[in-house]
Chains A and B, each alone.
Chain A
Amino acid sequence: MRSTLAIMGKELRILFTSPIAYVVAAMFVLISGYLFYSIVLFASSQSMQIMRVQGALPQINLNDLVFRPTFHNMAVILMLTLPLITMRLLAEEKKIKTIELLLTSPVPLTAIVMGKYLAALVVFTLMLALTAYMPLLMWYYGSIQWMPILTGYLGIWLLGGVFIAVGLLASSLTENQIIASFISFGAVLILWLIGWVSQAAADTSWGSFLTYLSIGEHTENFIRGMIDTEDLVYQATLIIVGLFITHRVLESQRWK
């Protein structure tokens, strides 16, 4: 536990002394903010139209109209940005040979993997916290329900957790950061695209199997405001499997 915290601390220090964390977080906030702004514009023009037709203030659901598309956008932006946070985690250690220090210290491999994972998770959580102005604005100027927004954030947070586990695994496979980021981006995209394939093969047992595998499907319920244990189990399984394979990869690399 102590060594996990030591590794996490070191990782965070490097992430925040180098520009990576700031650049990635800034891009994430900028792009998600711009998309949020255009969604809000669209929502207000729509409500204007409804008002003109009905001649009265319409009962519009801001949660549905604004936050569902915003969470979807966040998911896609995270798919592109989180690999940039995770790519260096292990690849860099191998490249500059600091992995020799870690592996010859009395630190279990699990602590190395967990320390790195938690560090990236902390950065991601801070990134996500920066978007809190969105619901706060909507709450101040309009009326929103908080619970679906909180479950939506939980869903996105778990999704990011999966992306980070996949990214960490990709980073353990190579000592080249660009390759690591590309592998993790590809793997995450595949997890996402399975959903589209499953729609084409809908109503067959194969189709429902693919639907189960698709990560988008398991995030959707959270965004709608539901917490389903099935989804929790799915996300947790992906994270644990990702971390476990990372551990095995690091172990097997010692034997080469």
Chain B
Amino acid sequence: MTFEIFTFSFMHRAIISGIAIAILCSVVGLFLVLRRYSLFGDAIAHSSFGGIALGLMAGIYPLWTAYGVSIVSALIMTRIKDKFNISGDASIAVLLSSGIAVGLVIIGLSGGFTLDIFSFLFGSILLVSVNDTILILSLTGIILIVILLLYRQLLYSTFNEEQAKVSGVPVEKINYLIVFMAGITVVTSIQLVGVLLISALFVIPNVTAIMYGRGFKQTAIISMSFSIFSVVAGILVSYIFDITPAGTIVLIAIGIFACTMGIKSAGLLSRHH
């Protein structure tokens, strides 16, 4: 029974997509966490809920409308935040609640479509199609290439905006790029963990990895490893025990985080004391 699951093609797709999403979320998430923007992924995910409802109502594939709505609203919110000097956490709250509000109103207007909405709220990784898998792999590839090409600018503007500006880094453009990439990453990851648990994948492997890594690349690699392990183990364990994959993935990630804190408190990662 245990090895049989590796023969199912839906399981291959789930694991391949899961690994891609795990890598994507941990890399993009590391920049967000270090910019004290940990909940931004959550806000985009909630705004995508409005997009999903819109797609379901209009009869368009909901993930397409979700991409559109979440990226546009995240960029607009970033612009408003900069222009009117609204703090980061308040702008996240505005974005988050407006997405849910729009979604709820649309659902109400269309008389409800609860079944579909559930798979977006909590993920449905075992249901990803071949096309979904190709899309997930392509977007992951594109975003990773962009990050590699602009690595110095992304890292520098995350480390210290003012100094990056003085060194000629186009900090504002880089900020919008990060928001744009976060939008794509969140909507792509909805199929894995759903709208409600996205920020777990953005944040938990990264806060764990920061406790281990010294340099940036090392931290990113550790974070990716934790993230991949959580996702793959989560998919397998949830299938074997017939429980929800999204919840299992996140609980495994939290388990690794808790163990790390335990190791740290025991003084085994002493350089941080």
Q: Do they bind each other?
A: no
Chain A residues near B (Cβ < 8 Å)? none
